[in-house]
Amino acid sequence: MTSLERTSRLPRRAMVAASAAVLALAGVAVTAESADAQSRSRSRSATVSGPNHSASRSAEIYRSPGSASVSRSGEVDGRAWSSSRSRSTVATEDGYATTATHTGPAGNTQSRTGQVTVDENGYSRSSEVQTSGGYGYERDVDVYRDENGAVITRGVTTNSGTSASRTVVRTRPD
């Protein structure tokens, strides 16, 4: 082995050892971070510029158990825009409830609420959607189960007062 080969191997071995040490430290950092990963936030941004057009965009993202939110904003050729979205789910005594809101770049908003209730005989699910333009509806599903089968009732009512419902009976074969 020449002296050139010997000197070229030493830095390589040192490099492998240093890489292993960095990876080991990163593993410790990831382990420590994952313990605190119950809630986290992050940001993103990008800018593009050309001879005729320019644009920028940014996003703020936050997540925690049961909730999440995202806010986005930007500018295209001097015209600004923004949008946001959020959702929250909480446990209730016998199920859970969810609230969500979305605001688009034009300022239009959509809100949704929902609730699920569970008991030993089945479950009920209701949701309501409303928009800033005045449109909306409420939807309900009730499921009752026993040893003979299930009864499923679904209904919907719009903001204009129109409603519809349907019931389905499913029996178990003998």
Can you give the pTM of this predicted structure?
Answer: 0.68
How high is the pLDDT of residue 166? 97
Q: Which of 6-15, 46-55, 123-132 has the lowest mean pLDDT?
A: 6-15
Q: Which of 30-44, 91-105, 159-173 has the lowest mean pLDDT?
A: 30-44
Residue range 139-157: mean pLDDT, rounded: 95
Q: Is the pLDDT of residue 77 over 60?
A: yes
Residue with the two structure tokens 């089945």? 122
Q: How far apart are CA 36 and CA 65, in angstroms?
A: 12
Residue 58 burial (C-beta neighbours within 10 Å; 0-12, 13-18, 19+):
middle
Q: Is the pLDDT of residue 69 over 80?
A: yes
How high is the pLDDT of residue 38? 78
Q: How many CB atoms lie within 10 A of CB 125?
A: 16
Q: Is the pLDDT of residue 78 over 50?
A: yes
**Residue 113 CB contacts under 8 Å (≥ 6 apart), including other chains:** 97, 98, 99, 100, 127, 128
